[in-house]
Amino acid sequence: MTRRFLIATASLLFVASPVLAQRGVGLLDSEGRVSFDHFHTWQEVHGIMESWAWMYPDLTELYPIGKSYLGVDLMLMEVTNEATGPAEDKPAIYLDGGIHAAELTGSEVALYTLGYLLNNYGTDPVVTELLDTRAFYIRPKFNPDGSNLVLTTDQSLRSTVHPVDEDFDGAFDEDPSEDLDGDGWITRMRVPDPEGDACADPADGRIMHPRGEAPSGAHCYRVFPEGIDNDGDGRHSEDGTGGIDMNRNFPRNWDRWHRQPGAGDFPLSEPETYATVKFLNEHRNVAFIIHGHTSGGFVYRLPSASAPSLFNTTDLELILDLSAFYTESTGRPVVPSATHPTEHRYGTLITFGYWDHGVIGWVPEYSPGPESWVPDANDDGEIDESDWHAYNDSAFGGAYFSDWTPFEHPQLGAVEIGGWHRKFWGQNPPAELLLSEVEQQVPWFLHVASRTPLISMSDPRVTAMAENRYRVEVTVSNEGDLATHLTERGHVGRALDDGRLIHQVVAPPTVTLEIEGGRIVEGGDGPLPGGRTTIPHLAGGN
């Protein structure tokens, strides 16, 4: 007798060979641990995952779930102890990162979590118990194309590299920012102008204040992104690479560009979002979605792309309960993604997960800004830009700021180019602080995983009947915290005249009878083909 909690369709399997695993050489130590001293390209991440697949064959399955816009494999790793059953037979956590190209920390958190699970199985009792009874689906590079563009060129990009006409002039991606001074960074340009809206601090000319907040005697400037006006429309860098926001491209409560900029031409128009929904539809054992973003240092919770008044209050209480440990373990808040009845996002992943699958999802915004990790150098009780410079100079040798340097611009004339490297000073932490950021996320992931439903089944009781027939009975229990329908939304279905529910958002558990040398005559209240019988959803300990 076997039991299937939720049935999933198997995906293409990719097993790493020792030769392929060489792509991870130099990125892992002899114990399979990764150094988080820099942000990783998708090639590095895939090499690391291939190495782990070779090192931990009994805990991992590695495979692509699709291809990116540019044809890169969208790699996902299953993590579970396969000796206790395959991943699809266990409640699972789906964890990703990097849907937005420059939100690099989300990818690093997913990669760190993957390594933490593998490196600690068999020695950490919490990790061991979870991988024996649950599964993790981890996808560090949701958007490999955008991630590499940001890491290797210093271009800015919201999400996919799919070209978009953002300024509606009939051309696509024709006016990106540019590294005019060739220093490897795309920063800002300032042009002297007494009427300019930004003014340099007289005590430290690196610091720019809004005009109304500038000290007396400050020299003022007009400020532009670094680059030229390529299309001659009087604006700088207004139509860079891409323009679609893939976290507005999911099918639940999607809307068009006039209401939701970046939504795409239709739901799931992008191969990355299509692959995600296809995977979740085929893996209905996913109990929670953790959709990693950056930055801010908090977590967005449901509701997201829907009016708060439409959200089930019991499910909201459950979300608050599940979220509380994040604040307890990190000191950071969990806040609603939507607070207004109509002014909210459209087409987000966690909205799809909840309304279509009954699954609770979160959007962690990793990496709080410099005010959380820059010390108060002048001890005045607040963290301002002068403290930023003091810390950048003392701790990093000034690496994250380009001094304002004269440059002869072909269109603007004499300008100065300089400013903060915002990609690693605000949006993501400096690489030197990356490890401390990613490692503090894991305790909450483990806590959430421990709260899933957990079905167990007794040994079969066999009773001989007349005419060479036998009755087989088992007791199926849910030892987990959540009900098997996960949420009140998951329990929703179509009621029949006899009170039974069918077509529930979360399918009820199925018990399967397998026998040799006989045939199945009947199977409870409506047998299914192959000896499968559905049973009602089971409450949990919550």
pLDDT tens, residue by residue, 330-372: 999 999 999 998 889 999 999 999 999 999 999 999 999 999 9
Q: Which helix (H) or strand (E) holds 324?
A: helix 313-330
Q: Is the predicted pLDDT of residue 2 greater than 60, yes or no? A: no
Q: What pLDDT is stored for residue 212 in this prediction?
A: 84
Mark out the alpha helices in 348-408 (DSSP H runs). 349-357, 385-396
Tell me, what DSSP letter sits at residue 25? B
385 burial via Cβ count (<10 Å: 0-12, 13-18, 19+): middle
Tell me, what DSSP letter sits at residue 88? G
Find the mean pLDDT for residues 319-323: 97
Strands in 232-352 per DSSP E: 286-294, 298-301, 334-336
Confidence of residue 82 (pLDDT cuts 50, 70, 90): very high
Q: Which residue has the tokens 């002869």?
A: 408
476-478 and 198-200 beta bridge pairing: unpaired
Tell me, what DSSP letter sits at residue 523? -
Higher pLDDT, 71 or 231: 71
Find the mean pLDDT for residues 23-37: 84
Tokens standing for 374? 């820059």
pLDDT tens, residue by residue, 431-443: 999 999 999 999 9
pLDDT tens, residue by residue, 89-127: 999 999 999 999 999 999 999 999 999 999 999 999 999
Find the mean pLDDT for residues 185-214: 93
Q: Is the predicted pLDDT of residue 206 greater than 60, yes or no? A: yes
494-495 and 501-502 beta bridge pairing: antiparallel
CA 54 and chain centroid, separation: 25
pTM of the predicted model over 0.85: yes
User: What's the rounded Cα separation, in Å, for the pair 322 and 331?
Assistant: 15
Determine contact, residues 524/352, Cβ cutoff 8 Å.
no
Question: Positive or negative CA dihedral for 234, 238, 240, 242?
Answer: negative
User: What's the rounded Cα separation, in Å, for the pair 137 and 77?
Assistant: 6
Question: Positive or negative CA dihedral for 271, 338, 284, 447?
Answer: positive
The percent of residues in the chain predicted with pLDDT above 90, rounded, is: 75
The percent of residues in the chain predicted with pLDDT above 70, rounded, is: 94
Confidence of residue 528 (pLDDT cuts 50, 70, 90): low
Q: Is the predicted pLDDT of residue 25 greater than 70, yes or no? A: no
Cβ neighbours of residue 317 under 8 Å, at least 6 residues apart? Answer: none
CA 444 and chain centroid, separation: 15
Q: What pLDDT is stored for residue 499 in this prediction?
A: 82
User: What's the rounded Cα separation, in Å, for the pair 407 and 189?
Assistant: 9
Q: Is the predicted pLDDT of residue 530 greater than 70, yes or no? A: no
